[in-house]
Chains A and B, each alone.
Chain A
Amino acid sequence: MTQQPIIEVRGVTKVYQVGVEIVHALRGVDLTVHAGEMVAIMGSSGSGKSTLMNTLGCLDRPTAGTYHLSGREVSGLDAAELSQIRNEQIGFVFQSFELLPRLTALENVELPLLYARGKGWGWARERRKLAEEALQRVGLGQRMDHRPNQLSGGQKQRVAIARALIAKPRILMADEPTGNLDTVTTEEILKLFEQIHQDGQTVLMVTHENDVAAHCQRVVRLRDGLVLSDLPAEQDPAVGPLVPAIRSAA
């Protein structure tokens, strides 16, 4: 691809210090994601998936390394600048939904637009319309005025996805979005992600389940804070259908 990548990460490390103990969550990750891709990030628990996602999502800064988002170096930006980037370029879906309990579904979806810059009084109405559209898109047109405690887990995650999409981000990131859902609902949510991807949305998803990753075209595997493999899904040893062939070739 000649196009400029959305995400270009080189040698990213993340070191946590807990008391006297030093944890190397990321030890030098390289990763490039282009527009239109749907990438699964996999790995065992503690391999650094969430840390990488938080870094890519500009929620956290790397200890070292470079991170170009849409061509702009973002690893040295301050909290306010990172907020603006999250607001405008990134949609984040969390495992635990993270809906605000006192707000309706519609208001939850609207939330990112509250922090959009340079808007006037008319924005309030415009915003509402966008939120309604987003909710319709995730199939919750009938639940707009429900509060989170009146929604099922799958519905909550749909609201969260609508919220992540409302600002038309360049990239949609989801950290184990189906981790709190049963298998049937998981399938529905993954179908929704696929649908969104087919509409042209770049998607980055953390999972540790192979059948979830099977919905993606590309699988990045982490181990101990390093990229173990980065392959098209059909070539991934655990995900793709050609598993034995790859294994024997390796």
Chain B
Amino acid sequence: MLNPLFYYENVVLALRQIWANKLRSILTALGIIVGVASTTAVIAALTGLKTKVLAEFETFGAARLYVWPSRPEGVPRNLFPWEKIRLKAPEAFALRDQCTSLKGLTPISETSLSVQSEAETLEGVSVSGIWPAWHATENRQVIMGRPFSQLDIDNARQVCLVNDLAVRDLQLPADPVGTHLIIGGRRFLIVGVVETITERMTGFNTISAELFIPHPLMEKFMDRDFFMRFVALANSPAEADDARAEITRVLRKVRGLTPGDPDTFRVQAIDQFIDQFKSIASGITAVAGGIVGISLLVGGIGIMNIMLVSVSERTREIGLRKAVGATPTAILLQFLLEAVTLCLVGGLVGVLIGQGFAFAVSQIPGAKLENASVPAWAVALAFVFSAGVGVVFGMFPAIKASRLDPIEALRHE
């Protein structure tokens, strides 16, 4: 009785049953289909994002470090006024000159200003103050003209870099190097064009026009105590931890913090961002899991309902099968396998739709999801869950069928 042939034949029987009631089966399995499809799609998108982001992290190496001001927790605010904790240009100089584990460091400050070219005036254009090391830390090389040099910084030259979107939006000549822009009322010479980077580390930045000027010039456009952060590049990924310690040590010394004092800034290496990203990703995965849980529950109740209908519709069949020798176990298995098969078919349809979504999402330009694909474990999990729903929610109807008395079942109308 419990030979493999029996299982195989019952699955075939179940498929015939499903095929005979196509519409009803689809409607019944809808909960499972929707649940599996949406979760598969979310997981696919997330996986794509993850591969992409991790790959980016990889190419930059784990050598990147971020420094930003941070008020210590659990101490009175008035002890740490903004003026005391904000990063300042001299600190950037100190770190650059004293940290032997660093290959480069740049302060970065951002604002938006009105920008005027010969052909166009734009409000609210993103303008960032940087040092030459920015090219290395952000991995953005010039595609035309020249990068910033130390002399640009030291002499606070009124020069700027534009990205190619700025060239487009400001209707600059195709090779804008040598032309001028009025940025916040000051005249800047364009010395180079940098690529527009659509994928930045953790940012979901919008793709738009960007201008870059020597960092000292930012003072002209900002409040006295404006915000800046530092981005540094360790000599090698292996030295990232050392670099982090060194930055902390030097900055504490510059700030005159004594050993008991808390840090008034934060230094974070890229791997910590990876961890953060991973935990966000698993958070989303958990939410997706919750969605699938609910839809599987709803789907399961649908399955149970239809199986009860099926048992009642086929009471005579059950009676006949029993009369010719089907044991209660055989009937139980027949209906259980039918429920499981129905759920698995639903799961399969769901996975296919999910794959479709994943493909569609991977085709969206600029969505960073070109790597979106359904991982094998998600497919496996979808089927395991579907089968589980079939077993759990098919059990009650199957038990009901198995317990029918053959004579009474045959008398059923």
Contact = CB atoms under 8 A, between A and B. Distances in A.
B323 A86 contact: yes
Contact of A92 (B3, B5, B16, B323): B323
B3 A119 contact: yes
B323 A121 contact: no
Shortest 7 CB-CB distances between A and B: which pairs? A87-B325, A112-B324, A115-B325, A83-B327, A80-B327, A98-B320, A115-B326
A111 B324 contact: yes
User: Which residue, of B322, B324, B329, has the highest number of chain A Cβ atoms within 10 A?
Assistant: B324
A114 B6 contact: yes
Contacts of A98: 316, 319-320, 323, 410
Contacts of A111: 320-321, 324
Interface in B316-375: 316-317, 319-330
Given A59-B406, A86-B324, A112-B325, 20 more contacts: A54-B407, A79-B328, A80-B327, A83-B325, A83-B326, A86-B323, A88-B325, A92-B323, A98-B319, A102-B16, A111-B321, A111-B324, A114-B326, A115-B326, A116-B325, A118-B1, A118-B3, A119-B3, A119-B5, A123-B3
A87 B324 contact: yes
Given A102-B16, A115-B330, A60 B325 contact: no
B20 A102 contact: yes
Interface residues on B, range: 20 to 34
Contacts of B322: 83, 86
26 contacts: A59-B406, A60-B406, A60-B407, A79-B327, A83-B326, A83-B327, A83-B330, A86-B322, A86-B323, A87-B326, A92-B323, A92-B324, A98-B319, A102-B20, A111-B320, A111-B321, A112-B324, A114-B9, A115-B324, A118-B3, A120-B3, A121-B4, A124-B5, A124-B9, A163-B324, A167-B325
Given A80-B329, A98-B410, A115 B323 contact: no
Nearest to A83: B327
Given A112-B324, A112-B325, A120 B407 contact: no
B296 to A, nearest CB: 29
Given A100-B320, A102-B16, A86 B407 contact: no
A72 interface: no
Contacts of B9: 114, 124
Nearest to A98: B320
Contacts of B317: 100
Given A100-B317, A102-B20, A124-B5, A115 B407 contact: no
B404 to A, nearest CB: 10
Interface in A93-151: 94, 98, 100, 102, 111-112, 114-121, 123-124
B409 to A, nearest CB: 10
Contacts of A120: 3, 5
Interface residues on A, range: 20 to 34
A59 B3 contact: no
B18 to A, nearest CB: 12
A32 interface: no
Contacts of B1: 115, 117-118
B400 to A, nearest CB: 14
A94 B319 CA distance: 12
Contacts of B4: 121
A218 B161 CA distance: 113
Contacts of A54: 407
Interface in B297-319: 316-317, 319
Contacts of A118: 1, 3
A80 B324 contact: no
B350 to A, nearest CB: 27
B316 to A, nearest CB: 7
A26 to B, nearest CB: 14
User: Which residue, of A83, A84, A94, A115, has the highest number of chain B Cβ atoms within 10 A?
Assistant: A83
A115 B407 CA distance: 18
Contacts of A123: 3, 5
A145 B407 CA distance: 28
Contacts of A163: 324
Interface string B280-293: 00000000000000
A204 to B, nearest CB: 15
A112 B324 CA distance: 5
Given A94-B410, A98-B410, A102-B20, A84 B323 contact: no
